[in-house]
Amino acid sequence: MSDFEKKKLELELRNFANVNFERPADCRNLDQIRYYVRELCSKIEEYERRFNYVPTWAYVLLSQYNMVHNSLLHKDFRKAYA
């Protein structure tokens, strides 16, 4: 795969994420985070299957959503058992 094709795929995925996802720091709901993680995982799997390439930033975005998810879970846990 050429650099041009990689850049094109990165731009396509970034545009998809910008249009369909909120920034991880703006999410305040566990269901919302779970939805974004599920959608991002399916998009990553699609890119792996179709193009055998996934931009590194997609995994970084996924880890950011997971960090926010874990933080919200921890807050709910402390609230429930405090």
Q: Encode pLDDT of 9-65 as tens digits.
A: 999 999 999 999 999 999 989 999 999 999 999 999 999 999 999 999 999 999 999
As for how many domains the chain has, the answer is 1
Per-residue pLDDT, 39 = 96
Residue 47 corresponds to which amino acid? Y
Domain span at residue 15 reads 3-81
Mapped onto helix, strand or coil, the DSSP state of residue 23 is coil
pTM: 0.88
What 8-state DSSP symbol labels residue 24? G
pLDDT digits (tens, 9 = 90+) for 2-14: 899 999 999 999 9
**Residue 1: band (very low, low, confident or very high) from pLDDT cuts 50, 70, 90:** confident
For the cut 80, the answer to whether the pLDDT of residue 82 exceeds it is no
Alpha helical stretches, state H, 1-82: 3-20, 30-51, 56-81
| Beta carbons of 33 and 65 less than 8 angstroms apart | yes
